[in-house]
């Protein structure tokens, strides 16, 4: 079992690629081409999120 785990590890790391035994490369270039300004993404603090949520709430209607 230890031998098989060692062989799997060597294979999964691509160390057998010279022998033609390597796992398939998993890339998704279509996702990179679909991104729109990824540099504009940023994390918000809880205070910033609360301010945005307050601003997004509709104004209360006056009683008629």
pLDDT in tens, 33-63: 888 888 898 999 999 999 999 998 887 777 7
At residue 22, the pLDDT reads 83
pTM, two decimal places: 0.40
Write down the pLDDT at residue 53.
Answer: 93
Give residue 20's pLDDT: 87
Would the CA dihedral through 36, 42, 47, 48 be positive or negative?
A: negative
Query: Which residues in 7-46 are b (16+ Cβ under 10 Å) and which e?
Result: eeeeeeeeeeeeeeeeeeeeeeeeeeeeeeeeeeeeeeee
pLDDT over 70 (residue 18): yes
pLDDT band of 64, cuts 50, 70, 90: low
């Amino acid at each position: 079992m230890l031998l098989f785990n060692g062989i799997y590890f060597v294979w999964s790391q691509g160390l057998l690629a010279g022998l033609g035994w390597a796992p398939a490369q998993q890339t998704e270039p279509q996702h990179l081409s679909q991104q729109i300004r990824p540099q504009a993404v940023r994390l918000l603090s809880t205070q910033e999120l609360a301010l945005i949520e307050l601003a997004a709430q509709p104004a209360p209607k006056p009683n008629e």
